[in-house]
Amino acid sequence: QVQLQQSGPGLVKPSQTLSLTCAISGDSVSSNSAAWNWIRQSPSRGLEWLGRTYYRSKWYNDYAVSVKSRITINPDTSKNQFSLQLNSVTPEDTAVYYCAREGPGYCSGGSCYQWVDYWGQGTLVTVSS
């Protein structure tokens, strides 16, 4: 059974950096078949995918266009976890942040398709001075 445990501050000041960590149990951040995501949820934006990191013989990252200039997702193989850093936050970044796993899925025609199957517990992050 995969479990994802999030940690990090719930309050960040405007213009500063939001940092969260997701500890993985029951799987490996270095898995060749999973991907590790950050997703946020707010009343104005709904469920919004932010980005992911995954290992396929080397490390890859994909980021949403909306945050691409401000986001970094890093794996930490020594602790079997991954992290989110979102720079230059504004009150619009206030949301519940989730880490999530995309499981093995399936591959067809040279492409692979994975769905989110496990979620962290969520962290409410408020951007306010």
Q: Decide if residue 32 touches other proteins (CB under 8 A).
A: no
Q: Are strands 111-113 and 106-108 parallel, antiparallel or unpaired?
A: antiparallel
Query: Tokens standing for 109?
Result: 């025609």
Q: Give me the amino acid identity at 63.
A: Y
Stretch near other proteins under the rule CB under 8 A, chosen from 8-16, 25-33, 79-87, 107-115: 107-115
Stretch near other proteins under the rule CB under 8 A, chosen from 10-18, 44-52, 67-75, 78-86: 44-52
* Secondary structure class of 110 (helix, strand, coil): coil
- The answer to whether the CB of 82 falls within 8 A of the CB of 22 is yes
Q: Decide if residue 67 touches other proteins (CB under 8 A).
A: no
Binding site for other proteins (CB under 8 A): 37, 39, 46-49, 52, 62, 64, 98, 100, 102, 105, 113-117, 119-122
